[in-house]
Structure 1
Amino acid sequence: MLKITPKNIVAFLFLTAWPLSAQVNTGELRIRVTDRASLGLKAAVTLSSDGNEYHTTLATADDGTIIVKPLTYGVYRLKVDKQGFTTISNTFEVRSAIPVEQRIQLEVAPVETVVKVSDTGTLVDPHSPSSIMQIGSKQIQERLGSLPGRSVQDLVNSQPGWLYEGNAVLHPRGSEYQTQLVVDGIPLTDNRSPSFGPEIEADDLDSLSIYTAGFPPEYGRKLGGVVELTTRREQQAGLHGQLTFSGGSYDTLQSFGQLQDTWGKNTLFATASGSGTSHYLNPVVPENFTNNGTTGDFSLKYERELTPSDRLVMSVRHELSRYEIPNELVQQQAGQIQNGDNFETMGTVNYQHIFSADMLANLSGMVRDNANDLYSNQNSTPIIAFQHNRFREGYFKGTISLHYKNQELKAGIESDATFLHEDFNYVITDPTQFDDGTPTSLTFVQSRPDLEQSAFVEDLIRLDKWTVNAGLRWDHYQLLLNQNAFSPRVSIGRYIPWLNATLHVSYDRIFQTPSSENILLSSSPLITSLEPQVLRLPVKPSIGNYYETGLTKAFSNKLRLDTNFFRRDVRNYADDDQLLNTGVSYPIAFDKAVIYGAEGKLELVRLGKLSGFVSYSYIVGNAWFPVTGGLFLGDDVTSALTQLTGHFPDSQDQRNTVRTRFQYQLLPRLWLAAGLSSGSGLPFSYQGTYQEAFAQYGLQVVSRVNFDRGRVDPSLALTTSVGADLYKTEKLTMRLQADGDNLNNRLNILDFGGLFSGNAIAPGRSYNFRLNTSF
């Protein structure tokens, strides 16, 4: 008889998921170009969408066919050219996973002819019911250089509504640990910052789609923000690839390589990357003590077109990171060395079947193993901490898409089984830093499954100039609590032709599960030995209502304005705290939070040789007492039991944030760019005295925080870049880019002993060089 264990269950999920396939909010285009006699023609195809920042030039096969995938939902322009034939240009829309068929018949061109094509713009999507920020391949390739482990986070952080706290943890519209990355259709809902999970390199991506409202019911569990990542692929057959080397300040060296080969109905992808730096995490003091880090990433993917109606994709990826934890002054003087690492192996299998021109099914399966470790040497102060946490996850999802007249319907189910294992122990080396009676040592080991299931249905309806996306989602969460909820969602868009603009409003009901980071440790009865006073409350899922209204408008198809006004009302508002002085965080919750604000982005798509953007965010966030979940020790217990009313600023309550970057094409192969990033400063609540802060962090840090206002001083970083195509042919391109960040060399404090987190200092003046070769 087979013994039921987490290992066997994960193996079973993998075996049953192997014929499955992923689905994201992308579709595909199938083109066939013929002459009047319906014979296939080899022709040049240009596909573009200003709104999605997409542009590519391809060639059809000898039989006139080509499949272009994946394509983000939106409006595209298709142009087909062949010498001796008239040029054809039209627009089409991608609204579902069901492939769009374009059959193009070319006519022989007369000796003299004038071809008129429609000039419908693609900068504004007239049938989009909500606002989605898009980052295309050009912006990815010409991005500002990043330190290892945060190239994707830096791209997302460039968009309005997103903020960094320490160590590149993304916070969308005031949410704490409520961001999910969706990689080729597979959702990753755990913390993906450099100190918790290795990233997928930005060089491996073709596009990003970023949601902060108007969430399709297909998405759940973590809904502060959703970032869809679509990995890069070459549309043409044959061997293609790229090789990137970069390096710069802080002894940083990075490399990335990718190969893709397509033959017949088969495509094989392989990637590898590695990096090293002396500035892996955000340090707590400007001296950047003990901050070395290395990363590695390896992936392999195979795709097979089984039939014109069936596609199978299988992939495996292994990622790792090893790094040191930065010291403050006292820890450095004591000789402390703390090391952390993360290892992750993930396998996915994807299957798609087209039943008819109006019906498509997608199934997806994923298994992964993730491990996080923390080690401390004997000189660590005030505590020596060790941690070995891991989880094994089995995920599967099935969806079906149906096109019916003016509707795009989708329904699906998903299940996620995550088997948590926590192993933590410590030894106190400086008892004066702790309350009397705190045990000098503790050992904790526990395992438990986190089981989550969901189902959803949604309908995208087009009614002339109105577009409605409405749906319902059901979620079930079972870990320390057993809860479920229904979440209705609706988004409405109205296109105004004479204004060339789309108005939209949305309502999202959200059910957000707590972070699983050390949730077993913080809820264990064993923790009661740490202090004479202990309060343990179960952390419930967050329930919230998100509202947004906005406008997207184009000016002469050269300039686009996106504006949004939003409000979020959340009960059981999620936050995090730290255990003693270990840096080990765990989830807590407050009664409620209200977050509101406005965002705007003005994007210059093209004006002669100039392009770029400027964005602005205004966010106000407050959380209300009492605490409703989490672990509280010592004096915090008294505060938690007596502080029953009142509110305080959310830890991401940065009122004003401005970002800009503009690029000018000096020569056909040479461009310059410049920009800036500025923030008005986050709030903090420091429990110590000024003298203690001075001793721990030094004069440079304490002079950049305002103890009277309880906020860090405003930040400002000026950036510049220069890029050149060193060599460019039809088959080979070599690009060199040099970047300068924080050229003003201001000491920018991201966090200072934040409400429930420590210091984080942004990099000083730094430089980076990147050489990319693609073929």
Structure 2
Amino acid sequence: MKKISLFVLLFCFASAPLLAQVNTGELRLTLTDPSGHGVESSVVLSNEANQYFRRLVTNKDGNITIKTLPYGVYSLKVEKESFASVATSFEIRSAIPVEQTLQLVISPVSTVIHVSASSSLIDPNGPSSIMRIGSAQIEDKVDSLPGRSVQDLVNSQPGWLYEGNAVLHPRGSEYQTQLIVDGVPLTDNRSPGFGPEIEADDLDSISVYTAGFPAEYGRKLGGVVELNTTHQPLSGLHGQLVLGGGSYDTLQSFGQLQDTWGKNSLFASASGSVTSHYLNPVVLENFTNKGTTADFAVRYERDFSPRDSFNLSVRHELSRFQVPNELLQEQAGQIQNGDNFETIGTAGYQHTFSPNLLTSLVGMVRDNANDLYSNPLSTPIIAFQKNDFREGYFKDTVSFHHGHQEFKAGVESDATFLHEDFSYTITDPTQFDDGTPTTLPPFIQSRPDLEQSAFVEDLIRLGQWTLSGGLRWDHYQLLLNQNAVSPRLSIGRYLPSINTVVHASYDRIFQTPSNENILISSSGYIQSVDPQVLKLPVKPSEGNYFEAGASKSVAERLRLDVNVYRRDVRNYADDDQLLNTGVSYPIAFDKAVIYGAEGKLDLVHLGKLTGYVSYSYMVGNVWFPVTGGLFLGDDVNSALTQLSGHFPDSQDQRNTLRIRFKYQLMPRIWLAAGLLSGSGLPFEFEGSPDDALAQYGPDVVNRLNFDRGRVDPSLSVQASLGATVYKSEKINSRFQIDGDNLNNRLNVIDFGGLFSGNAIGPARSFSLRLNTTF
């Protein structure tokens, strides 16, 4: 276990920084009575487009500051006994706080005063498509297996696709997803087998981008997922406790406490889980698949004044798990264990120079360790890996509002110090090329990955038109030293007569390679493994993304989003394995062309019914030759001679359908049902069908179409039942039971994936969940 470093502690407790706002802002609300004195009152804040809903209470002076609000138009309702209710709306469009003062009017009868109130079902000033996952959807989410609660929520959106072990792939991209956690980017693989996750119960909202990226984003641009943790300043002590469990011996828990006094707020959370189904098994029997996760976080915020804010947080996460066995490996007695440990310290400072000018500083230091251990009975290889990195990150941004413009500029620097340690012993030489050494001394190497960037962007509103333009500069230095300039442009037009926003976007992208085992793939160690080696430096991906689409509101009950897109990428990023181990390393092909269409129909409310239907169509092709990566033995000749032609992208699932609807049976009881269907991913298997039978068994092989090279279509039916079991002014307790894959179909997710080469979805399973807030 890698302990938190002294450097992290010194950075966190000696710096004076804040909350790093990216595409979020804040509302500063003051409520007064007719004489101008502050009024403590209930406040309901909602945004149907963002799926955001919060019921809050102002302090005794009538003040409340609501932070990390995703951009959009919000509805605000104020209710206070003896006063007329007030309904109004406001817009969040930048990091500069929105200040509103509302004076309540004494009313002897039931009265509602509307102050420019409007619908928030669509964003009339949105220049691009953004999928929002709000507090209501997070609260009612289908329970997930440990390590993938955030991934499951993102995977519910059109354009996203799972391969094995909850690795997310947006619009065909391989390992090019980044998470933005409270404004701080994490660009490494965050799937259960590679990095611990932040529990979804710890989040207030999620914003998902697959096009129309602000220039502030870079380095990993297959898709961007903004995670905003819960830290609304509620007076007094408040908290949440979640207990759950179900099939596969799964137990999960999450707890959160927060307290606000004066200008100070303190937030603490912890979660833990155990399961016997941590990764996707490779055979139906689910051999050796136990996993344990834990997460601890503390956050402190202080508003020194209306102009100065300070933030400090520390988070420690870990996971320990077994790697699932194939049939032959289980018979041999193989045990492979993996673990991940991560400690993150962040700090930031925000200063408002004027109502139109704001600056924000944020810094992060984190330690990350990723290990793999194999017992002596492992076959065909005993593999050991002990990788870690230390990352230091800094960003400074300035936001400026002028008339109809929201201007933002900034610089960022990221230094990641990589360390790799790998060794192996071959136990079954028949599975490898002749001459491959059965054992080698450990490979141990360290090297810094240095990346810097700068950006400018401007959001302009001209009547019913909204234009977002930006320019980004990136520098990347690891195996190569490269610079790139990336323009971004998005434009939207609101058509009020049909309540529709049409939009189009262009993104020039520069994506740095995955740093997972990138040092070993370019080292002299590989010549010792196999004298026939081809090593090509893995170049950053460069390309052009195009999207056009529309969002339409129908009768304030339905919202329809449709998009068509195309991605043209040079040096298209992919991954491969070293020998037959769980060690993955980056490779690249000459180019890729990915295109498709997506649609989502949200039923916001039709009586007691809510829900959505989404559909994705995607075609992805990748072209030879190979332009980067490591190749051994026979693969060398293929890489050198295969100079033309193309093949399907490994995420080339043509049709994906997702459905989920919820019905409120009575005020405290609801039912939900849905399904997930996919037409199947492509696969390559070098052996014969008899080899596949020996490794994976007939049930799995019967779900493969070797003639087409495709996994058979998948279908999983879900259902949920929820009930409020106790509700008072201060306590709300909700119970939920979920059933997954109720049709009990053997769904092969992919064939030929990471670790053991296969991934099977869960069989019919159930889970229980009790969520209490106070």
TM-score normalised to structure 1 length = 0.97
Partner Cα separation in structure 2 for residue 293 and residue 13 of structure 1: 32
Deviation at 1:618, TM superposition (A): 0.1
Structure 2 equivalent of residue 198 of structure 1: 196
Q: How far apart are residue 80 of structure 1 and its match? A: 2.1
Counterpart in 2 of 1:504?
503
Query: Per the alignment, do residues 591 and 456 of structure 1 end up closer, same or farther by CA in structure 2, a change over 3 Å counting?
Result: same
532-541 vs 754-763, which moves further: 754-763
CA distance in 1, matches of 2:112, 2:523: 78
Letter matched to residue 644 of structure 1: L
Matching residue's letter, 1:276: V
Change (3 A) 1:120 1:197: same
1:438 corresponding residue in structure 2: 436
Distance in 2, Cα, partners of 1:180 & 1:383: 32
1:754 shift after superposition: 4.8
- How far residue 271 of structure 1 moved from its aligned partner, in angstroms, is 0.8
CA contact (8 A) 1:601 1:615 kept: yes
Distance 2:714 2:92 in 1: 41
Do the aligned partners of residues 18 and 367 (structure 1) sit closer, same or farther apart at CA in structure 2, a change above 3 Å counting? farther
1:91 to 89, 107, 115: 89
Q: How many residues align?
A: 769
Q: Which segment is superposed worse, 588-597 or 82-91?
A: 82-91
Partner of 1:416: 414
> Partner of 1:696: helix, strand, or coil?
helix
Structure 2's unaligned 5+ residue stretches are none
Matched residue SS, 2:509 = strand
CA distance in 1, matches of 2:368, 2:711: 35
Where do 4+ consecutive residues of structure 1 move more than 4 Å? Answer: 7-18, 110-119, 754-757
Cα distance in 1, alignment partners of residues 379 and 196 from structure 2: 28
Q: Does 1:744 align with 2:743?
A: yes
Equivalent position of 1:461 in the other structure = 460
* Residue 533 (1) aligns with residue 532 (2): yes
Amino acid of the structure 2 residue aligned with 1:304: R
Output the CA distance in 2 between the equivalents of 1:756 and 1:40: 61
Check whether the contact 1:492–1:505 (CA below 8 A) recurs between aligned residues. Answer: yes
Find the residue that maps to 1:730 and give its secondary structure. coil
1:385-396 alignment, distance < 5 Å: 385-396=383-394
**1:723 alignment partner AA:** G
Q: Is the 8 A contact 1:86 1:108 kept in 2?
A: yes
User: Residue in 2 aligned with 1:631?
Assistant: 630
Provide the residue aligned with 2:663 in structure 1.
664
Shift of 1:350: 1.4
Cα distance in 2 between the residues matched to 1:144 and 1:55 = 19
Residue type of the alignment partner of 2:388? R
Q: What is the DSSP-based 3-state SS (H/G/I as helix, E as strand, rest coil) of the residue aligned with 2:519? A: helix
Contact 1:747-1:764 within 8 A present in 2 as well: yes
Of 172, 175, 181, the match for 1:174: 172
Give yes or no for the alignment of 1:584 onto 2:550: no
Residues 13, 395 of structure 1: 8 Å contact kept: no
SS in 2 for 1:605: strand
Determine helix, strand or coil for the equivalent of 2:172: coil
- Alignment partner of 1:164 is 2:169: no
Shift of 1:44: 2.5
1:4 — aligned with what? none
* 8 Å CA contact 1:339, 1:375 repeated in 2: yes
Say which SS state the counterpart of residue 314 (structure 1) adopts.
strand
Give per-residue Cα distances to partners, 1:49-79, cap 9 Å, x unaligned.
1111111222222222111112110000112
Kept after mapping to 2: 8 A contact 1:215/1:508 = yes
In 1, are the aligned partners of 2:253 and 2:271 still within 8 Å (CA)? Answer: yes
Query: Separation in 2 of the partners of 1:191 and 1:428?
Result: 28
1:89-118 CA-to-partner distances (Å, cap 9, x unmatched) read: 221100001000111122333668675565
Matches within 5 A, 1:290-439: 290-439=288-437
8 A Cα contact 2:66 2:232, kept in partner: no
1:196-217 Cα distance to aligned partner (Å, 9 max, x none) = 0000001111110000000000
Deviations 1:206-257 (A, max 9, x none): 1100000000000000000000001112442110001111100000001111
Q: Residue 124 of structure 2 aligns to a residue in which SS?
A: coil
| Counterpart residue number, 1:641 | 640
**Which whole-Å CA distance do the structure 1 matches of 2:621 and 2:296 have between them?**
42
Matched residues, percent identical?
Answer: 72
Could you say what secondary structure the match of 1:623 adopts?
A: strand
1:17/1:396 contact within 8 Å kept: no
Superposed CA offset, 1:11-66 (max 9, x none): 89768854355222111101112233322222332211111111122222222211
Please tell me whether the aligned partners of residues 17 and 364 of structure 1 are also in contact (alpha carbons under 8 angstroms): no
SS at match of 1:519: coil
Determine whether 1:724 maps to 2:723.
Answer: yes
- CA change 1:686–1:457 in 2 (3 A) is same
User: Quick check: 1:246–1:253 contact (8 Å CA) kept in 2?
Assistant: yes
1:657-708 deviation per Cα after TM superposition (whole angstroms, max 9, x unaligned) = 0001000000100000000000000001111111101101000010000000
Give the equivalent residue in structure 2 for 1:43.
Answer: 41
Confirm or deny: 8 A CA contact 2:85 2:112 kept in the other structure: no
Larger mean CA deviation between 328-337 and 106-115 belongs to 106-115
**SS of residue matched to 1:499:** coil
1:714 equivalent in structure 2? 713
Match of 1:595 in 2: 594
Aligned to 2:140: 142
Q: Residues 574 and 120 (structure 1 numbering): CA distance in 2 closer, same or farther, change over 3 Å?
A: same
**Given that residues 506 and 545 in structure 2 are in contact (C-alpha distance below 8 angstroms), is that contact kept between their aligned partners in structure 1?**
yes
Q: Hey, what's the Cα distance between the residues in 2 that align with 1:735 and 1:63?
A: 32
SS at match of 1:88: strand
Q: Which residue of 1 aligns with 2:767?
A: 768
- The code of the aligned residue for 1:293 comes to G
Quickly say closer, same or farther: Cα 1:249–1:753, change in 2 above 3 A: same
- Deviations along 1:444-498, one digit per CA (max 9) or x if unpaired, are 0000000000000000000000000001000000000000100000100000001
Shift of 1:276: 0.4
> What letter matches 1:281 in structure 2?
L
1:685–1:754 CA contact under 8 A, matched in 2: no
User: Which piece of structure 1 moves more, 121-130 or 78-87?
Assistant: 78-87
What are the equivalent positions in structure 2 for 1:462-501 lying under 5 Å apart?
462-501=461-500
> Do the aligned partners of 2:164 and 2:753 also contact (CA within 8 Å) in 1?
no
* 1:217–1:138 distance in 2 versus 1, CA, 3 Å: same
Does the Cα contact within 8 Å between 1:684 and 1:755 map onto a contact in 2?
no
In structure 2, the CA distance between the partners of 1:563 and 1:668, relative to structure 1 (3 Å rule), is same
Question: Which of 262, 270, 279 is 1:264 aligned to?
Answer: 262
Deviates more, 1:752-761 or 1:19-28: 752-761
> C-alpha separation between the residues in 2 aligned to 1:148 and 1:21?
28
- What secondary structure is seen at the aligned counterpart in 1 of 2:316? strand
Q: TM-score, normalised by structure 2?
A: 0.97
User: How far does the alpha carbon of each residue in 1:314-361 deviate from its partner, in whole angstroms, 9 at most, with x for none?
Assistant: 010111100000000010010000000010011000111111100111
Shift in alpha-carbon separation, 1:734–1:198, aligned structure 2, 3 A = same
Q: Counterpart of 1:167 in 2: which secondary structure?
A: helix
Q: Compare 115-124 and 707-716 and name the one that shifted more.
A: 115-124
For 1:279-302, what per-residue CA distance to the aligned partner results, in whole angstroms no more than 9, with x for missing partners? 000011010000001011111111
Q: Which residue of 1 aligns with 2:17?
A: 19
